[in-house]
Structure formats: C-alpha cells, structure tokens
Chain A
C-alpha cells in the first residue's frame, strides 16, 4: 500500500486499485492469517474513516417528500458535517431507512418504518418511536436499536452484534440465523424464533411461539413466559448466577426488568445432537438418506 497516494487511487479503476493495494498477491489458505496484535497500539475508539460527529450537534430531517435513497444519502452528508444526533420525521413506513451506517451516531426515527430498516449498521444508536416491518436490523454488526412498539417477522435476521430491542411483541422467525449480539423482546415472539441460531443471545420477556430454537447450532435463548414448544435439538439448561447477573443488567438498561426479577426465566440452548456430525458414520447417513 505504501507508495500509492489516495489521490492516485481515486484516478484508478477498481481493478487497478485492487492490484495497486497488493490484494492480488495474498495467499488465501483458509487458516490463520498469521497477523499478530500490537499490544502497544494506540488507544482509538472509532474507525480511521469514521466521520467526527458530536452527539450534542443535533438536526431534524423531514422525510415526508424524500425517497429512501435521498434520506440515506442525506444522513451521510449530515454525519460528514459533524451532526451526531439526527431526527427523522414523518418516515411514513419507508423501507430500508437508515441502512449501512458504519460509525457512531444517535438516530431517532419519529414514526414507523417498513422493511429492512436500519440493516447492516455498525455502531449507531437508533430509537424508533413507532413500529417496524420485516427484517429490522438485519445483519446488524454493532450499536443499539430500540423500537418502542411492535416489530414484524425475521426481526434481527442474521444479526452479528449489538443490542436489538423491541419493547412490544414481534412476529415469527425472530433472530433467524443469528450469529451474535443480543435480541430483547419485551412482549411475545412468534413461531420458529431462534431458527438456526449460531451464536448470540435472545431474551423474550413474554411468551414464545412453537418450535423455539429449532435446529440451533449454538447461542442462548432466555424466555420469561411460556414456551409453546421447543424446536428440534433445542433443550433447556440451568440458569447460572452469571446468566442472572447479565439478564438483570441488560433488562434494567432498557427498562424491561420484570417486577418478579429474572429467576423464573427458562434458558434454552442447543442440544448439539443435530449439527455436530459425530453421531452417525457416513455409511449410516447414506442408509438413512
């Protein structure tokens, strides 16, 4: 990378940039990258490219007559101008609002959003005063998203990190393919929640629909209410003191701590009978198939 300036890179095509930055010469072995941490690295808190925003610098944006693309572009412009708190007014159920925000920001959406709201985010704190449609915060990497009312299905699908909170109830397949992070539901969650969950934590203060945690590989689901049925390979486990401590902290943080505490929560984990292929010999599998 040394020897190539940003100005020179800007003049190149993508193919030329990739070559100039040495990405054609890497050996992709699928094993360790053999990169080592530098323990004396500088203590920084934001990505090198992140705009320098100030939470105290606030602006409002009336999105009524704007398209989703215009709104999302305007958010980026405002962040480059240093605005750390942006309020979106009149979202009127627009889809894909606030997607792909990759650094810190306070984003307040006054109203309801449509499908795929605030997906692919990495760092912002989002508060939505209304409801949200399907796949809210899909592939979320980091940050917090708090929804004051209800959410649609596939809430937090393929989520990887951060806190995703719905104070109301959510639809089915909540946290499908979840790979990390924490999903908190103040009310009930629908069928097949935690389906194929791989990592992360899901907390449901109310009831859970049928087939909870079906085919989960790993991760943990805590349910405060009733579970209609567990999915294939989902099993209950002991709620440890560390679990209780963590649950109390998390639920208090979002104003969802039940009056009777957390001792009554049921912990659900993977039974590890389904996806750890040590049970059947290859020949036995063939026989079954």
Chain B
C-alpha cells in the first residue's frame, strides 16, 4: 500500500531485516543487488499507550506534552543488526545484542528513543568533542 511500503520488497514481519540482512525481495532489488528504501516504516506514528517512564519524565523536564522530536525516531536494521539512526552523528548506532527486542515495532521504537536520548545526552557523544573543536559562541 502506498505510503507504508516501498517499491522494493514489502515489510511483512518485524524481524524481516534481522533474518534477511540483504532484504532483496522484489525482482528489481535482486537485479540491482540492494534493498530499495528504508528497512522500517518511517511514517509510523507513536502509540502513546506504550510510552516508558523515562520518556515520560523527559517530556516533563522539557515542558512537552508529547515525544516531540523523538516521534521521528524508530528502531532500524543495519547489516542484520538492530540500530538507531542518530541525526546528530549522521550514522547508525548499534543496539547491543544483549538487549532483548520486543515482538512489535512500537515497543522497539520506544527502546530506540530511550537509547538514543541517553546517548545524545552523554559525554561520550561525538557532538561533545565537535562543539569543543568548532563552537564559535
């Protein structure tokens, strides 16, 4: 269906790109040797019934009534492993394999938001060093 799937292979299973890292479903993908489009549904809006206490606390601290920028954060899959795209880093950050993944994308997205938030607010985020090097004011 338009808007939820891609012109490549359809996303039918939450573990699809964990089981099949290449994700070559359609004839066109097999021909070009790469998956077309994202490996998760970027348009999936959050289900607030599944929000975690940490994310709820973050909303309170920031004075927001919803997840705000975290609404655009999802758990993705890179090279057969779960990962989250960090826009401040312009790269994927891996989810440790010791972490048990829930069986649905909504709960996985909440975990992705927690992990990314903790990472971005930590001293080990590359933006800390970048600011020291380049900040002009």
Contact = CB atoms under 8 A, between A and B. Distances in A.
Most chain B CB atoms below 10 A, which of A44, A242, A271 = A44
A51 interface: no
B57 A45 contact: yes
Given A32-B91, A41-B122, A48 B68 contact: no
Nearest to A23: B133
Given A39-B98, A161-B69, A278-B36, A17 B118 contact: no
B65 interface: yes
B3 to A, nearest CB: 3
A82 to B, nearest CB: 15
Interface stretch (A112-120, A137-145, A204-212): A137-145
Interface string B66-101: 101101100000110001100101011111101100
B120 A41 contact: no
The contact size tier of chain A is 35 or more
A49 B128 contact: yes
B129 A23 contact: yes
Given A23-B129, A141-B69, A270 B2 contact: yes
Contacts of A76: 137
A270 B43 CA distance: 11
Interface string B49-76: 0000010011001111110110110000
A20 B134 CA distance: 12
Interface string B115-136: 1101111111001111111100
B69 A162 contact: yes
Interface of A: 1, 6, 9, 14, 17-18, 21-23, 32-39, 41-49, 55, 76, 104, 106, 123, 125, 141-144, 160-163, 180-182, 199-201, 218-220, 235, 237-238, 242-243, 245-246, 249-250, 253, 267, 269-273, 276, 278-279
28 contacts: A32-B79, A33-B89, A33-B91, A35-B89, A36-B93, A36-B94, A37-B118, A39-B99, A41-B118, A42-B122, A44-B121, A47-B120, A49-B128, A49-B131, A55-B63, A160-B72, A161-B68, A162-B68, A162-B69, A181-B69, A181-B72, A200-B72, A201-B71, A219-B42, A242-B44, A249-B48, A269-B4, A269-B43
